[in-house]
Amino acid sequence: MIRIGGVAHSHRISFMRIKIAGTGRALPHTCRTTAEYEDALGLPCGQLSAAVGVAQRYVCEEESQIDLAVAAAEAALRDAGLAASDIDLVLAGCAVPYQPIPATAPLVMSRLGIADGMAQAFDVNSTCLSFLTAFGTAARMITCGEVQRALVFSSEVASRALPWQQDPEVAALFGDGAAAAVVTGSAEAGGTLKATLMRSYPSLYDACALAAGGTRFDFARDPERFARHALFQMEGKPLFRLAAQKFGGFVTDLLDRAGWTRDEVSLVVPHQASPAALAHMIRQTGFDPSIVMDITRDYGNQIAASIPFVLDMARREGRIHAGDKLLFLGTSAGVSFGGMALEY
């Protein structure tokens, strides 16, 4: 039984037999240090670095979001030992799309050389949690037999539309990057998606936003208002309070759904929101810091790409083994908490 809001509910868990057959990641060529931004903004040396904890990040100057996505996808396919033509689902999980219409996934499908009509391609967006949402969607489609092999990717050019003049401590958190995973069915003992969970708190909908670019503000009618909302804005204090109140309980409920204890978790693969946010998450959840992946100092917050980027890094560094219990965790604008428990 699961107790929600004081009421007991029965909950039958349906495990999904899936396998991560391959992963890959990609970065732009250009790396910018926080010291470079301090110099450009006329800030004292070390002030911004100390405030945000991010020493450097990679930024797109020549590459496009699609270039990064294709490079990451090709690396994942090589790792899986598959050709692009073996894929029958291309699923994009990006916080910010290449353009509002059409979706990003069909263009990546085309750039990979997958012929017209040979796969389905669409986007899933839950901002920073988009990879987890897309991964869960792919797992369900594989489980129900709709597709056999899915390519799930997140590609972010997070260095655009940042408030460097208005709020440099927010702007300095972000970096660009992409990562992808090839997901297939699995008849083996391992490769089981034990649980997924998301909870949303839309009372803080505007606390973290890039408001222009959709239908909310009309550039033709009011270009000045459109321009005012064309930069990313974030109110950290209310977001921190919400996480402090709710995130620990959220993780407990996710573990309960998976049938795991905290001590059984082999590795935590979190969204790389910021060094401070990760430190706070570790204190809240009680995990040993040694099992929590943290790359924010060198890569910054890559929005939706951060979770699959860390996943690929952990696999290639030998930190993940057959039978390991992996816990994926994150928060997103909106606001939502999301997680996934995967037995590798």
Which residues are catalytic, by number?
128, 271, 301
- Residue appearing with tokens 């459109």: 226
d(CA 336, CA 198): 7
For the sheet containing 89-92, what is the strand order?
A: 120-123, 89-92, 149-156, 177-185, 16-26, 192-200, 336-343, 325-332, 267-270
Beta strands in the chain (DSSP E): 2-4, 7-9, 16-26, 30-33, 56-59, 89-92, 120-123, 149-156, 177-185, 192-200, 208-209, 233-234, 267-270, 325-332, 336-343
d(CA 257, CA 142): 21
DSSP category for residue 265: -
Cβ neighbours around 301 below 10 Å, total: 25
DSSP category for residue 44: P
d(CA 176, CA 108): 17
